[in-house]
Chains A and B, each alone.
Chain A
Amino acid sequence: MKKEIDQAIVMENVVKEFKVLNRHEGLRGSIRDLFSRDYRTVTAVDNISISIPGGQIVGYLGPNGAGKSTTIKMMTGVLEPTSGNLIVNGCVPYKNRTKNCENIGVVFGQRSQLWWSLPLIESFRLLKDIYLIPDRQYDEMMKLYSDLVDLEPLLHKTVRQMSLGQRTLSDILAAFLHDPKIVFLDEPTIGLDVSMKAKIRDLIKELNRMKQTTVILTTHDMGDVDALCERIVIIDHGRMIYDNDIDHLKSYFGSYRILKVRLPGDIWEETVIDESKTDVMSVISDYQKKGKLLDIKLEEISTEEVIKKIYENETNERKKISGIDKSRDNTGIAV
């Protein structure tokens, strides 16, 4: 364990299982359920091992219900892993919830953790007391904040009166206030407008750079990933399916590009082309044989497309294994 002391988070074969009652239908079924001991086990997190060194921004991605939240809850000490080792900042989060909480900051989507009826500055002062932040450190942090964002108009507003963007901003500032080693951000830009998203991303990036805070970011917005993440971990059905940096991601399935062609009748058609297998010119000539081409556009594949492909690929793999895959849809990929 000694050698991993510089690691912010170490997960070794972590498994989290939930017991779910098998429910029966109808009134008779519900009565049976009252006394039933008929449980099935659902594996939310299935044997995940990762180490995250301090200071990294990691994008933790996966489709809805993949087990992201469950992992975050284990890292923050809310849930206990069923098996495996999980060390956060050198301690076991579930056994030392209070101690773990001193060294982490959490922003959970649209759920503000600030006191609704208090002006922001009072929330900050309370947090200063709760985290026992020394005066000097607090003043420095407030100075830094006012350099990074337009803080003054926010400070005397209550959280209740804030717009969603201001609230998210405030929540992020609150999460970094005690200079934690790790900050967990769960969909921080959800529901925000473009300029607010950019503001939030800049803020996270700056804070990470200046304070060397490790950031674990879960999001469905690939703009967040592109702007912030050095490393990406993707999980699906509780299993880790990708763990590498963002540059590798684009070439994960070969080098993809998107060809858009305009056909008569002003119809745009999109084809994702894997250049390691097909070349763009031959696809264009195929189109030309079929009819007149009015216009073409060639685009680099976006992170979003790659992630989508990884999810789909994983789903197809699973189908193949379980033998349901009789009619595999091609998802529009020219091979």
Chain B
Amino acid sequence: MNEAAIANAKRGFSFYARIYRKILVQDLKSKMSYRADFIISTFGMIMTNTVGFMSFYILFKNFPSINGWNYHEMLFLYGFSLIALTPLQCLFDNNWSLRYSVESGDFIKYCFRPINIFFYFISEVFDVKGLGQLVFGVAVLSYAWSSLAIPVTVGTLCLLVLLLITASLFMIAIMNFAAATCFWMLRSGYVMILMFRFKDYARYPASIFDGLFRIIFTFVIPIAFIAYYPGLVILHPDNIPLLSKLSPVIGVLFFWLSYKFWMLGATRYDGTGS
């Protein structure tokens, strides 16, 4: 037990941060060397975001407000959700290939290194495309922010960062749960695609959903925490619901649970097919 503690001390946060940085730098270098792939995927990302924004814009051309939310407030949620989804896109993209590596038996290779399996697996892929989304999200959010004339102070900016991190944790956790189902079931791809689709609802205020869906999106598949609850903190600072205040704690807890679930699956893994 004592030795395990020493081993953990040897491989603490700075250890993982160093390893991660090195993998990231090397991976980026090699990505840049496939120039055509890099350009095409960046172009694809810009197109996806533009089209997404167009449909949003057209919607608001016809309905000037939704459930009391005006165009700029909705735009705020939209930009916020884009930024909040970036860490998932960039850092946790390898979850999409988890089921293939479990099915083919390749997953076993992650069990042979003296480091955390989740870290080892996730660190392997960094998706550059997500950065385009980040730029787009920042632009949309800044525009909405200035249009709504929300005062810019150090305090609100810090709060914004905290809320963005919280929101990211929720989406990452949802996808961790969805990906880890592959340790138990064969066709887990559908679970992932379904969950990933739900993220599109995150940009709408949860108040537009009826009772049942509101409960589902708050407590079962908590996408309301990706933009709505954290967004309220900045948009309506005079009337912050309890769930908004609690969202950082719930976010950390939810992420931790998803990590535990993922790791439980990994220890259950028996390397069939090798």
Contacts and interface: CB of A to CB of B under 8 A. Distances in A.
Contacts of A158: 30
Contacts, number: 77
Contact of B114 (A78, A99, A126): A99
A253 interface: no
B111 A98 contact: no
Nearest to A186: B274
Contacts of B106: 111
Interface in A116-175: 117-118, 122, 125-126, 129-132, 158
Contacts of A101: 111-114
A76 B30 CA distance: 32
Interface string B237-266: 000000000000000000000000000000
Contact of B4 (A77, A99, A106): A99
B27 A108 contact: no
A257 interface: no
Contacts of B103: none
Interface stretch (B16-24, B171-179, B218-226): B16-24
Contact of B23 (A99, A108, A115): A115
Contacts of A131: 114
Contacts of B108: 73, 78, 108, 111
Contacts of A96: 3-4
Q: Is chain B's interface secondary structure helix, strand, loop, or mixed overall?
A: helix
Contacts of B27: 117-118
Interface residues of A, number: 31
Given A69-B271, A78-B270, A97 B26 contact: no
Interface in B94-124: 105-106, 108-109, 111-115, 124
A9 interface: no
Interface residues of B, number: 28
Nearest to B19: A129
B112 A130 contact: no
B26 A108 contact: no
Q: Which of A76, A78, A113, A129 gathers most chain B CB within 10 Å?
A: A78
Interface in A90-113: 96-99, 101-102, 104, 106, 108-109, 111, 113
Interface string B141-155: 000000000000000
Contacts of A109: 274
A118 B30 contact: yes
Nearest to B106: A111
B236 interface: no
A79 interface: yes
Nearest to B31: A117
A69 B114 contact: no
Contacts of B4: 96, 98-99
B22 A125 contact: yes
B46 to A, nearest CB: 24
Contacts of B193: none
Nearest to A104: B112
A98 B26 contact: no
A131 B112 CA distance: 12
Contacts of A79: 270-271
Given A96-B4, A98-B7, A130-B19, A118 B26 contact: yes
Nearest to A160: B30
9 contacts: A69-B271, A78-B108, A79-B270, A98-B114, A101-B113, A115-B26, A126-B22, A130-B114, A132-B11
Interface of A: 18, 69, 73, 76-79, 96-99, 101-102, 104, 106, 108-109, 111, 113, 115, 117-118, 122, 125-126, 129-132, 158, 186
